[in-house]
Amino acid sequence: MKKFLSAATVFMVTVGLASASVAQDYSMDEIMQKLQQLEQKVAQLEAENEALRASKGVRVVPRKRTKKLTVKGRVLLRATWDKRDEIVYKSDGSINTKDFYGDTPNSMIVRKARVQFQGKLNRNFSYKIHIRADRGTGVRLWDAFVDYKFDAIPLKLRMGQQKIPVSLSYLRPGPKIKFPERPIVVRDLDSHDRDVGVRAIFKPMKGLQLEAAVMNGEGVKQDEDDLKNKIGNIHDKRYSYVFAVDAKPVNTDVIGLRVRAAYQTGYAYLYYTSANAKRNLFDIEASANIKPVGLILEGGYSRDNPSHVVKTDGTPETWGNAKGYYVQADYKVPIEALKNLHLLARYSYDNINTDASDAKKKVASYGFYYLLDGWQAAIRTAYVVANQGTDTGKDDDRMLVTELQLLF
């Protein structure tokens, strides 16, 4: 049978080559040379087949690999200059040795060092693992989630450790934020943290996204000593819930508009109170991209009315409302030689406890960012004036911050 197949194969090739010789004027020597090469190949394949049949080993099917695996990384270097009008004290009476951004004043640090692994298993499943070692601290797991996209309906489920989906500013990827840090009201009030949970994202039409999420309510920023003071216990678990609407009602060559409104309820660890509480957080943020003039305006308002505030040692605490807002502008310089230069301005205010007289923060920031190679390589600089705790203006923390960002 094998000889018949070999002969048949050779015969067919011979006919094909002979026909081709008519059209392309092959010589007989060239045809015979090709036939000889073909016979050698057929003999080699038959020998390999026999060896496989004679083998008594077990054939192991390799594990199916992902269709796509992407490895990304980010290095962010920061240098700060800091000048304070007065010594700033913590609530326990000790001196605050950190600047307004939480860094050692007048220093150079590796603000962010991160690696991401992400990929797609198939058209439905994808994943992301994000590891960080910021400010020279230990390595931490920052994101670890799986996405599942349904075929029949425009719904995606995100399951695992992820950003708490409240703030538009916080959900924007870190490499593309304009200032060195996000607005103070977002950092204080708007669940500026990761948590483990399930997030459903439904897109019923173009430009509209509806979301609902159930989160553990514990976050991931807490120190190891705080992790043992989690809310409730295995018999009395209380979760955090987020509902959001994200819309892009206008997107033309002239203007692009995006609005996101979110509400968070349920129990969570509040970093601005350093306590567990039931949240009643409402957040609305919007951005308008006025394309002909290269101007992007953005702003937001947040208000939280926490109840059942309990410190991690179990002590109840009375706490007022928390509220704040921010406005900012990003202007692209309309000069060809400086086309990658953007000028920035922002004002942010928050009051984390309306029952206290020293809980206000007012922050004005001015600066620029320059895209050396898109966001792959960029420089960010900001001059920050922060008034924390009083209305007198005497506790100003003035900082000059410069960053170099590299993405790979």
pLDDT digits (tens, 9 = 90+) for 192-224: 889 999 999 999 999 999 999 999 887 775 554
Element spanning 68, H or E: strand 68-84
As a whole number of angstroms, the distance between CA 171 and CA 190 comes to 11
Instruction: Quote the pLDDT of residue 262.
Output: 98
CA torsion through residues 199, 184, 360, 274, sign: positive
CATH code for the domain in which residue 365 is found: 2.40.160.10
- Regarding whether 26 and 158 lie in a shared domain, the answer is no
Residue ranges making up the domain that contains 47: 2-54
Torsion angle in degrees (nearest 10) through CA of 109, 395, 362, 354: 120
- Regarding whether 18 and 128 lie in a shared domain, the answer is no
Contacts 24+ apart (CB under 8 A), 138-141: 140/220, 141/220
- Regarding whether 199 and 246 lie in a shared domain, the answer is yes
- Regarding whether 307 and 187 lie in a shared domain, the answer is yes
Quickly tell me which residue has 């989690």 as its tokens. 230
Query: Would you say residue 256 lies in a domain?
Result: yes
Which residues neighbour 239 within 8 Å (Cβ) at sequence distance 6 or greater? 197, 214, 215, 216, 217, 266, 267
Query: Would you say residue 96 lies in a domain?
Result: yes
Phi–psi pair at 399, nearest 5 degrees: -135, 145
Instruction: Quote the pLDDT of residue 8.
Output: 45
- Regarding whether 47 and 154 lie in a shared domain, the answer is no
As a whole number of angstroms, the distance between CA 231 and CA 6 comes to 75
- Regarding whether 160 and 38 lie in a shared domain, the answer is no
Query: Would you say residue 222 lies in a domain?
Result: yes
Closest CA to 112 of 75, 81, 61: 75
pLDDT tens, residue by residue, 68-107: 789 999 999 999 998 865 556 555 556 667 777 888 888 8
Amino acid at 322: A
CA distances from 68 to 23, 123, 161, 184 (A): 45, 11, 21, 37
CB neighbour burial string for 277-312, b if at least 16 within 10 angstroms, e if fewer: bbbebbbbbbbebeeeeeebebbbebbbbbeebbeb
Instruction: Quote the pLDDT of residue 5.
Output: 43
As a whole number of angstroms, the distance between CA 60 and CA 206 comes to 46
Which residues neighbour 167 within 8 Å (Cβ) at sequence distance 6 or greater? 182, 186, 190, 191, 192, 260, 262, 283, 285, 300, 302
- Regarding whether 151 and 12 lie in a shared domain, the answer is no
Query: Would you say residue 392 lies in a domain?
Result: yes
Around Cβ 71, how many Cβ atoms within 10 Å?
A: 10
Element spanning 53, H or E: helix 28-54
Quickly tell me which residue has 């807002």 as its tokens. 325
Residue that terminates a domain, selected from 32, 54, 76: 54
Would the pTM of this model clear 0.85, i.e. be above it?
Answer: no
Query: Would you say residue 219 lies in a domain?
Result: yes
- Average pLDDT, rounded, for the chain: 82
Query: Would you say residue 60 lies in a domain?
Result: no
- Regarding whether 142 and 208 lie in a shared domain, the answer is yes
- Regarding whether 32 and 155 lie in a shared domain, the answer is no
As a whole number of angstroms, the distance between CA 318 and CA 392 comes to 26
Total count of domains within the chain:
2
- Regarding whether 139 and 26 lie in a shared domain, the answer is no
Query: Would you say residue 59 lies in a domain?
Result: no
pLDDT tens, residue by residue, 11-43: 444 445 444 444 445 567 777 777 777 777 777
Predicted confidence band at 341 (pLDDT cuts at 50, 70, 90)?
A: very high
Query: Would you say residue 321 lies in a domain?
Result: yes
* % of the chain at pLDDT higher than 70: 78
Asked if 374 and 67 touch (Cβ cutoff 8 Å), the reply is: no
- Regarding whether 189 and 43 lie in a shared domain, the answer is no
- Regarding whether 128 and 206 lie in a shared domain, the answer is yes
Q: Show the tokens assigned to 87.
A: 């010594």
What is the secondary structure of 233-246 as a DSSP string? Answer: -TTS---EEEEEEE
